Amino acid sequence: MTYTEVPGARVPIRMWADPATVEPVAMQQLRNVSTLPWIEGLAVMPDVHFGKGATVGSVIAMRGAVCPAAVGVDIGCGMSAVKTSLTANDLPGDLSRLRSKIEEAIPVGFAMHDDPVDPRRLHGLPTAGWDDFWGRFDGVAEAVKFRQSRALKQMGSLGSGNHFVEFCLDETGSVWLMLHSGSRNIGKELAEYHIGEARKLSHNQNLVDRDLAVFIADTPQMAAYRHDLFWAQEYARHNREIMMALFQDVVRKEFKKAKPMFEPVISCHHNYVAEETYEGVDLLVTRKGAIRAGGGEFGIIPGSMGTGSYIVRGLGNEASYNSASHGAGRRMSRNKAKKLFTERDLAEQTRGVECRKDRGVVDEIPAAYKPIEQVMDQQRDLVEVVAKLKQIVCVKG
C-alpha cells in the first residue's frame, strides 16, 4: 500500500497503516507530537501502537531538536542476524541441548556475566575502537557513572521483555542466527536521567504532553544528551556484536563436524536517533520502533516467537524518511495477554519451537502481536523481502 496522510495535522503525518485500525490513544499521541514547533514531519509504520513517550512505529523528523522520551528508555534497541552454511539436514531431532547451550553462553533476564567479556577472545569479532568507546564513558552524565561496573558485565547479555535469541530456518532450509536486544540497564539509566532534565527546561512547560519535552540545538543540555545518546547507541551495537559472537561459538561447538561458516552479520537499530538530510534540510530523525530502509540497505523485521521474521532490503522511500517497521507490533498490552491466554495457549501457538512455554512468557504469545504477513503487505513500497525465516529455537529474556 501507499501511505495515507492524516488530515488536520500541522505537519504531514504519513501513515502506512489503515487509520481506522489504529488505537485512538496512539492517534492522539501522533497528533500531540505534530504540535511541536520543531517538527518537520512524521511517518507512521504498519506496526504502529500506543507507547510510553511516543507512539511505537513512528518516525519523527525534527529540525534542531530531539525528544528523549520519544527515543525511549532502551536506546539503540535493535536486531542482528547472520546466515550460516548449516542446513536443516545438519540438525538433531532434539534441539533442547542447543537451547540450553545458548542460555549458558548468553545471560538472560536480569542476569549478567560474572566478569566482563573480553572481545579479543571471541572468534572473528572486530575490536578496533573498543578502548576509545569505553574511554568516552568518562563523558556521560555524572548521575550514572557509578553504573560502569554493571555496564561492563551486562555487555553481551540479552535482557528481558521481548528480547530474544533465535535459531531459524529460511525457506531454502538454510540456518540463520538472529537476536534482539539493546543498551541494557545503562541505556535505561541514561534515558531516564535526560528525560528528567528535559522536563525541567522552561521551553517545555506548556506542552500538551510532558513526555514530549525536547532538547534544543546549540544548548549545553542538547550537547550532553547527544553525547550520551550516541554512546548508548554504540553500546547497544557492541552488545549485539558480542552476543552474536558468543552465539556463533555455541554453534561451532555444537555442530563441529559440519564446520559451520557465517556470512557477514546484518544489524540494525530500531529505537534511535540519526542525523539525516531531506530536501536539503538537516534533521534529527527519531525512529521509535522503526528501522532505516535506505535504498539497498539490509534490515530485519521480526514477527512473534511462534510465527516468522523477514530479512529485507530497503527501497529508499523518502516519504517515510527511508524507514520501515521494526516488527509485527503488539495488538494488546502485556497485562491483557496474561489475562486472556494460558500456558496451554502458548504451547499450542509455539508448537514446533524449542522455547519456554511457562507462565512467565505468556505475555509474548504470538496472538498478542499483529500478523506479520499483514504488516509486510502494508509496506511493499518501503522494503523488499530477501528471506523469510521461521524460528525453531527461541530463547526469551
Distance CA 296, CA 63 (A): 26
Contacts with 28 (C-beta within 8 Å, 6 or more apart), sequence order: none
Residue 52 has pLDDT above 90, yes or no: no
Phi, psi (rounded to 5 degrees) for 347: -60, -40
Count how many Cα atoms sit within 13 Å of the Cα of residue 33 in the half-sphere of its side chain: 35
Residue 250 has pLDDT above 80, yes or no: yes
Any idea how long the chain is? 397
Q: Is residue 230 a contact partner of residue 274, using CB atoms and an 8 Å limit?
A: no
Q: What is the pLDDT of residues 345-358, one digit of tens each?
A: 999 999 999 999 99
Instruction: Please report the pLDDT score of residue 190 as a whole number.
Output: 97
Instruction: Please report the pLDDT score of residue 124 as a whole number.
Output: 84
Residues tagged active-site: 326
What type of residue sits at position 52? K
What type of residue sits at position 26? A
Instruction: Please report the pLDDT score of residue 1 as a whole number.
Output: 60
Q: What is the pLDDT of residues 302-340, one digit of tens each?
A: 999 989 999 999 999 999 999 999 999 998 999 999 999
Instruction: Please report the pLDDT score of residue 173 as a whole number.
Output: 98
Instruction: Please report the pLDDT score of residue 397 as a whole number.
Output: 81
Which DSSP symbol is given to 81? E
- Helix or strand or coil: residue 279? coil
What type of residue sits at position 366? P
Question: What is the mean predicted confidence (pLDDT) over 252-262?
Answer: 97
Residue 274 has pLDDT above 90, yes or no: yes
The DSSP line for 283-306 is: EEEEEESEEE--TT-EEEEE--TT
Q: What is the pLDDT of residues 283-309, one digit of tens each?
A: 999 999 999 999 999 999 999 998 999
Q: What is the pLDDT of residues 191-247, one digit of tens each?
A: 999 999 999 999 999 999 999 999 999 999 999 999 999 999 999 999 999 999 999
Distance CA 56, CA 45 (A): 9
Instruction: Please report the pLDDT score of residue 32 as a whole number.
Output: 94
Q: What is the pLDDT of residues 154-172, one digit of tens each?
A: 999 999 989 999 999 999 9
Instruction: Please report the pLDDT score of residue 387 as a whole number.
Output: 98
Mean predicted lDDT score pLDDT of the chain: 96
Instruction: Please report the pLDDT score of residue 116 as a whole number.
Output: 96
Question: What is the mean predicted confidence (pLDDT) over 43-66?
Answer: 95
Distance CA 383, CA 377 (A): 10
Q: Is the pTM of this model over 0.75?
A: yes
Q: Is residue 394 a contact partner of residue 364, using CB atoms and an 8 Å limit?
A: no
The DSSP line for 301-345 is: EE--TTS-EEEEEE---GGGTSEEESSS-BSS-HHHHHHH--HHH
Residue 126 has pLDDT above 90, yes or no: no
The DSSP line for 184-218 is: HHHHHHHHHHHHHHHHHSGGGTT-SSGGG--EETT
C-alpha cell belonging to residue 248: 556463533
Instruction: Please report the pLDDT score of residue 161 as a whole number.
Output: 87
Q: Is residue 182 a contact partner of residue 163, using CB atoms and an 8 Å limit?
A: yes
Integer angstrom CA distances of residue 328 from 137, 215, 318: 34, 31, 22
Q: What percent of the chain has pLDDT over 90?
A: 92
Q: What percent of the chain has pLDDT over 70?
A: 100
Question: What is the mean predicted confidence (pLDDT) over 9-23?
Answer: 93
Residue 22 has pLDDT above 90, yes or no: yes
